[in-house]
Amino acid sequence: MFYREAGQFKTSYAADQAIFPILQDRLFVIAVLAVAYLVIPFISTPYFLVTIMIPSLIFCIAALGLNVLTGYAGQLSLGTGGFMAVGAYATFKMTTMFPELNIVIVFLLSGVFAAAVGVLFGLPSLRIKGFYLAVATLAAQFFLIWLFNRVGWFSNYDPSGTISMPPRDVFGIRVVGSGAAPEVRYLMVLTLVVVFCLLVKNLVRSRMGRTWMAVRDMDIAAEIIGIRLMWAKLSAFAISSYLCGVAGGLYFAVYLRTVETIAFDVVLSFVVLFMIIVGGLGSVLGSILGAFFITAIPVILTRAPHDLGIPISVDMAQHLEVIIFGSLIIFFLIVEPHGLARLWQIAKEKLRRWPFPY
Amino acid sequence: MQVLFDFLIGPFFQIFEAPIFFVEVVIGGMAAGIMYALVAIGFAVIFKASGIVNFAQGAMVLFAGLTLVGFLQMGAPLWLALIATVVVMVALAYAVERVVLGPLVNQPLIVLFMATIGLSFVIEGFGELAWGSDVHRLDVGLPRGSFFVGDIMIDRFHLVAAGSAGALVVAIVLFMQYTKFGRALRAVADDHQAALSVGIPLRMIWVITWSIAGVIALVAGVMWGTQAGIQFSLVLIAFKALPVLILGGFNSITGAIVAGLIIGVGETVFEVYWGQMMGGATENWFAYVVAMIFLFFRPQGLFGERIIERV
């Protein structure tokens, strides 16, 4: 009833190929964007923007990146944290070497370095797959973190290996570094997320995306119908690592601002993997939902005992938080293995038939 | 040139100049490798029977160790504490099968893998909630100290670790080959559906498999605990066991031991002779890079079953 596509006829090829062919979808997306751009920056507190919105949006990009690789191309990767670290350190090096360079361009370029590293560590995917590949990508994770930790050049010879984001302006507005308003940071990240979502959404509908999905579904069959496996797998690694690299740069420059290599350790890889599993493999919407969900849970869990007025010790709260987080993951996997995106799909079906049961 | 010399030739000079030291380094590496293998065997057992990569094995090691220490601190004698811990691990296996694996039957393997990561959080949080998060000392009376064979120093504890790993492997092999449950386990590993159709209770087999993994985790926990104390970082040894596992081949128990030795020796020798030039702490990634390069040439690992794909 609310979501009925009946009567919406497509009269041109352009209409047939639109990203959101159904009017309700278009309206929904416009409404979400309007709220994100016009409402949230004005009504929310800086605390909410900094602890939930900014990291969630940054993780949206990382989750999109991993989803391209794991959800669309079917290559399981646990090296996300390492690729994000490449982006972060590339951002730091570029902006300290060329302070005049526009910081947005720095972010976009830092992904290129991550893409190159991603292709290098994606080479084993030509020979191995599944969990063997997942463990092999852990090599990227551990080696890159070690490299950034041990080679002083990457952190400009900081004795503790810490990198800090210097302040940078875009068109006279402070966007990163000390003194940048949370609203400005939020809007910049939001814009990047919107751009990348549109790009990925289009990419997976293109020839390249179809190639990836063919490889995911059965790589031998894909090879037989003439898909170049090497090209398909390595392009997936490159684009995925590009997105992860940009996300890593933002994670460092916009969210944390001062970073040690430990921020990019293997836990980060698992967190991003959780996002796409809980959100939904092979779905752009899923990446976004998963990123928000997994980022928000720990914040809520940490605040919940305090807000509810339950007196428990910090130590105990921490253990409980870990247990609840783990249980929630298992619970979600059992209830809906296809993720939040699938729940959204079901909700749309229900809306279409409402008020009839079927 | 100097760099090349230092890197390619220098270390070998050092080896030839002090062969005794080299042998000791190798023995130390083998000891470390046995410890990795102890954890990797736990992975291999579960993978063989159910195709699940159980990321929670590291957390199980921590949990088993914490439980044992907890019982010992309550004043139980060692044999009672050991039996009680085994009972707890079996109960854990049962609970895991009921709550996590049962509802997830027939899901893609990546979902099961993620579930075991969630499980790892739960077990770890639960263990620390129940027994506290400090570093616990564990002393079950294993021999310490060292003796000399010729000029070479050998640690008694390493011999015990090697012995128990060997005993464990023999016990597992005997169990697999000569008992009814072992035969059922091998049938399940071969083909789930065929096993079900001849009347093998799949769920019970999984409980047994996870119980065996739990007992292996206990042995590993005792060894690691004696060496370094029971502490949170035990969860992370899962990351040490994974490259051992893929180098050996996921479903091979012999492979786990051999690969454990290779990686233990390799990373120790590399760290001692080459690591200093590269800034140290190379053992963080050495195992992974070796495994990655090796798999590039032999995708199934050292002893893994040949991967045959049909369309």
In chain A, domain spans: 21-265
Cβ of B129 within 8 Å of Cβ of A320? The answer is: yes
Cβ of A136 within 8 Å of Cβ of B292? The answer is: yes
pLDDT of residue A1: 67
User: How many CB atoms sit inside 10 A of residue A133's CB?
Assistant: 25
pLDDT of residue B311: 62
> Considering chain A, what is the average pLDDT of its residues?
88
**B153 min Cα distance to partner chain A (Å):** 32
Name which of A246, A134, A156 is nearest B250 in CA terms: A134
ipTM of the complex: 0.85
pLDDT of residue A204: 92
Q: Which residues, 6+ apart, have CB-to-CB distance to A63 below 8 Å?
A: A272, A275, A276, A279, A287, A288, A290, A291
Q: Does domain A21-265 fall into CATH 2.40.128?
A: no
> Considering chain B, what is the average pLDDT of its residues?
83
Q: What stretches in chain B show pLDDT beneath 50? A: none
Cα dihedral value B81, B83, B89, B92, nearest 10 = -90
Q: Using a CB–CB cutoff of 8 Å, tell me whether B105 touches chain A.
A: no
User: How many CB atoms sit inside 10 A of residue A189's CB?
Assistant: 26
β-bridge partners, B152: B149
Cβ of B301 within 8 Å of Cβ of A132? The answer is: yes
- B311 closest CB neighbour out of A221, A266, A319: A221
Chain A: residue whose CA lies nearest to B117: A326
Using CA atoms, how far apart are residues A118 and A73, in angstroms rounded to an integer? Answer: 14
Name which of A119, A111, A53, A54 is nearest A84 in CA terms: A111
Name which of A52, A325, A85 is nearest A190 in CA terms: A52
- A131 closest CB neighbour out of B53, B100, B124: B53
Cβ–Cβ under 8 Å, residues A177 and A167: yes
Q: Using a CB–CB cutoff of 8 Å, tell me whether A21 touches chain B.
A: no
Residues 224-243 of B with CB under 8 A from A: 239, 242-243
Chain B residue numbers touching A151 (CB-CB < 8 A): 279
Q: What are phi and psi of B232, to 5 degrees?
A: -55, -35
Q: Which residue matches tokens 């060496």?
A: B227
**A146 min Cα distance to partner chain B (Å):** 7
Mean pLDDT (whole number) for A133-139? 86
In this model, does residue A240 exceed pLDDT 90? yes
Using CA atoms, how far apart are residues A19 and A25, in angstroms rounded to an integer? Answer: 10
- Rounded to the nearest angstrom, the gap between the alpha carbon of residue B6 and the centroid of all alpha carbons in its chain is 35
In this model, does residue A57 exceed pLDDT 90? yes
Give the residue from B292, B298, B302 with the most A CB atoms within 10 Å of its CB, the best one to mutate.
Answer: B292
Q: Using a CB–CB cutoff of 8 Å, tell me whether A230 touches chain B.
A: no
Task: Specify the higher pLDDT residue, A58 or A358.
Answer: A58
Task: Specify the higher pLDDT residue, A117 or A125.
Answer: A117
Angle, vertex CA A321, rays to CA A320 and CA A327, nearest 5:
85
Task: Specify the higher pLDDT residue, B295 or A72.
Answer: A72
**A89 min Cα distance to partner chain B (Å):** 19
Helix (H, G, I), strand (E, B) or coil at A170: strand
Kindly list the domain boundaries of chain B, sorted by start residue: 2-131+146-297
Chain B residue numbers touching A315 (CB-CB < 8 A): 133
Name which of A145, A140, A171 is nearest A85 in CA terms: A145
Which amino acid, one-letter code, is at B25?
Answer: V
Cβ–Cβ under 8 Å, residues B248 and B304: yes
**A131 min Cα distance to partner chain B (Å):** 8
Give tens-digit pLDDT for B114-163: 888 889 889 888 888 887 777 777 777 677 777 777 777 777 888 888 88
User: Which of the four pLDDT bands, split at 50, 70 and 90, describes residue A46?
Assistant: confident
Chain B residue numbers touching A316 (CB-CB < 8 A): 129
Chain B: residue whose CA lies nearest to A71: B110
Cβ of B295 within 8 Å of Cβ of A224? The answer is: no
pLDDT of residue A287: 94
pLDDT of residue A92: 93
Using CA atoms, how far apart are residues A46 and A98, in angstroms rounded to an integer? Answer: 30
